[in-house]
Amino acid sequence: MKLLFRLLITTIIVLALSYFMGGVQVDNITTAIKVAIVLGLLNTFLKPVLVFFTFPITVVTLGLFLLVINAGMVLLCDYWLDGFTISSFLTALFFSILLSISQSILYKFIKDDK
């Protein structure tokens, strides 16, 4: 149940960011759900591998390279999904930052099952 709430929250955030950000386009709510699912899968499976292999760069940049990894995953999601368009790398970077901040704030309202 918690996973469904997180998926719903991410979908709403993606729709809101596409409305307010000029370089982000989401065609409909179905595409936003697909974006939320694909980003969740990329964060689960691809991000740990990328973080492992880019650990020296991440240490040198004091963790700022993780923002580049997140933006790259948003661009990868743009590449894979029709109906989701990001205009540039900088837009993907801002999108990923705003998405992460929004998720961390709104996920605090989801109660743990413990």
* Dihedrals phi, psi of 73, to nearest 5 degrees: -70, -35
Is 113's pLDDT higher than 70? no
Q: Which helix (H) or strand (E) holds 51?
A: helix 47-53
Is 112's pLDDT higher than 80? no
Domain ranges of the chain: 2-109
User: Could you tell me the CA-to-CA distances from 107 to 12, 52, 84 in Å, in that order?
Assistant: 13, 26, 24
Q: How does pLDDT run across 20-73, given as a tens digit for each residue?
A: 999 999 999 999 999 999 999 999 999 999 999 999 999 999 999 999 999 999
Q: Is 55 exposed, middle or buried (0-12, 13-18, 19+ CB in 10 A)?
A: exposed
